[in-house]
A and B are shown apart, each in its own frame.
Chain A
């Protein structure tokens, strides 16, 4: 089965912390340059698109306020959505966690086949982009049950063929070069060896996927927005693959994290304007498809997933991370993401937003992620729903330290530092001794044990400190 063990292990933080993985990523200098420039180009496209709207900042503020309202009335909106969706003939399922989500999806498939799932490959499912199913590791779960999931988003299909998780939530294979995709397609889809022409490769993927669309009876899509007022949901794609899947399949399953709810249809006018501009610099996604009721003979299911979201909603400092509309603008602007790649984050959602969502799911496994930032604040500035991402990174650091998820050596060092810095006479003395040692015995700091010194010179110790100068010259 595709995408089985390797993508599971790639998610595993045991393979290394962000910092260790980023160090490996940075060994290829030119590739890091290319990755950085590719994503910065997307950031610039975002700027261009955003700045064409005079009221851009007002639009962000409006979106933020709508989402704040949603967070404060989550229960009511979800119940309202459920009522309306049921009226529309959609079957609504509630999943407390990833396990339940996967079991529900399996249950729907099993029921479709009346408990007798055939052994042929055509029984499987086509799936458009859904980061939630990545979060739930659904593909792996279904693979173990003998059900093949075909990712139909081109980028997702590429990483799926390569047995990797996506490295970016909007552009899953942004870390792949077209030459490499040519090789991959040659191996899996039988394209000409050495052909890297994007049009040729896309056409090959198109024909390959067309066959899957026509033969798989079950389609799963994500949900970008679920409208409480009408019980409908909206799925945004550029490739139309969600539509192709949903329209051809007998069964349409839509998986959504419960925070995707918005109160009214008119609010889409705010979010759809923000989403694609923030994500790729497009005015709107090619397809913004509204799904309201199943066509005759079709089943439509929606699985509403918690998986830690209510815990996050209960964390006062972190609840507004649930405002996220998954545009990935924070990825593209993040100087650390651009120079470490999505896989360094070992979480379904990478980048700055992933770093504030992941510790909620598993503090121990993701304790490194809030530290994978300089706290520069660019993420907060581009966020279309005004999540204070960099402040939450700071706050997660405090929580993770206090909950005991940092190495004892770091705690010891910090306590030592605090003692020196809160005691003026020790500070003056150790500063003087330190500078003297650096001057007389530079090898004490200029060695491989000092990570600063690996690629940077230490500051040259001056003869006197400012306070010593001041004493001589001003008092």
Chain B
């Protein structure tokens, strides 16, 4: 299957390893992955700040890069949600995990990852894209990211006191409301610390970047990995090397 990879601007610049893991994981799953070279950003930082009306050029650039593909895949729930809601495409955009479950129809991945892992549900992935059931609703439980993590040999998934509270990143909120943003991040981290998380993961690098900033400042003993990095590292396919 041919897919186009959308690597959000800040992942491209600051977390290339997340992009690489996403690319390699998709290749291991048999996809032919293209990276349209002139892509930049979906425009969400401006739109969420109230400037959707000046994102026209970003939207056009995005369409020019991705319109020839049936499937666009991105390792970010938040950016994916923004594109889904604001940028009309000829094909469709999927968040990485959503693409693996819904389009590739893969329910579990074989692999090994011997760590205590804490999953941070990003709000846009969860409440926006419905990657998992939400704690506010009276509805049966499901979680697409958990389903993959739980299946990995040796991986112990940490149970949190508050399983889907926002980390406080929130785009420009993280600087405009710095005090509350940091406090929310600290509270998420103390939940993970209290319940024994060794590796903090999630489907949104933006949330992880915010919490990693606090972890490094406060010198907590938690490592941060995007879920694509865990799955890519855990999943060993004979004969396929990066």
Contact = CB atoms under 8 A, between A and B. Distances in A.
Do A and B truly interact? yes
Interface of A: 18-19, 22-23, 25-26, 32, 36, 40, 47, 50-51, 53-54, 56-57, 333, 335-336, 339-340, 371-378, 380-382, 394, 397-398, 400-402, 406, 410-411, 414-415, 417-418, 421-424, 427, 431, 434-435, 451-452, 454-459, 461-462, 464-470, 473-474
A421 B50 contact: no
A159 B39 CA distance: 55
A469 B20 contact: yes
B42 to A, nearest CB: 9
A374 B169 contact: yes
Contact of A339 (B138, B184, B213): B184
Secondary structure of the A side of the interface? helix
A457 B139 contact: no
Given A414-B46, A414-B49, A469 B16 contact: yes
B14 A26 contact: no
A451 B178 contact: yes
Interface string B116-153: 00000001100110000011111100000000000000
B19 interface: yes
26 contacts: A23-B178, A26-B179, A26-B183, A50-B138, A51-B138, A57-B137, A374-B181, A378-B127, A380-B127, A401-B49, A421-B45, A427-B41, A431-B9, A452-B175, A452-B178, A455-B214, A456-B185, A456-B217, A457-B216, A459-B212, A459-B213, A462-B15, A466-B35, A467-B12, A469-B19, A474-B23
Contacts of A424: 37-40, 61
A458 B175 CA distance: 12
Interface string B33-71: 001011111010111111111110110110000000000
B7 A422 contact: no
A18 B177 contact: yes
A382 B184 contact: no
Contacts of B29: none
A427 B40 contact: yes
Nearest to A46: B136
Contacts of B124: 375, 377
Nearest to A337: B180
Closest 7 CB pairs of A and B: A374-B170, A456-B213, A422-B57, A401-B50, A397-B50, A381-B136, A466-B19
B3 interface: no
Contacts of A423: 40, 57
A373 B174 CA distance: 10
Nearest to B219: A457
Contact of A422 (B47, B49, B61): B61
B198 interface: no
Q: Considering residues B12, B49, B53, B177, which has the most beta carbons from chain A within 10 angstroms of its beta carbon?
A: B177
Q: Select the residue from B53, B55, B137, B174 with max chain A CB neighbours within 10 A.
A: B137
A374 B173 contact: yes
A394 B138 contact: no
A57 B139 contact: yes
A452 B174 contact: yes
A335 B165 contact: yes
A464 B7 CA distance: 14
Given A335-B166, A371-B173, A381-B136, A421 B213 contact: no
B235 interface: no
- Give the one of A380, A427, A455 with max B CB within 10 A: A455
Given A335-B166, A418-B55, 4 more contacts: A50-B138, A374-B123, A378-B136, A415-B51
Contacts of B52: 398
Nearest to B65: A424
A25 B177 CA distance: 12
Nearest to B168: A374
A400 to B, nearest CB: 6
Nearest to A459: B14
Contacts of B173: 371, 373-375
Given A382-B136, A462-B14, A415 B178 contact: no
B223 interface: no
Contact of A378 (B54, B55, B166, B182): B166
Contacts of B23: 470, 474
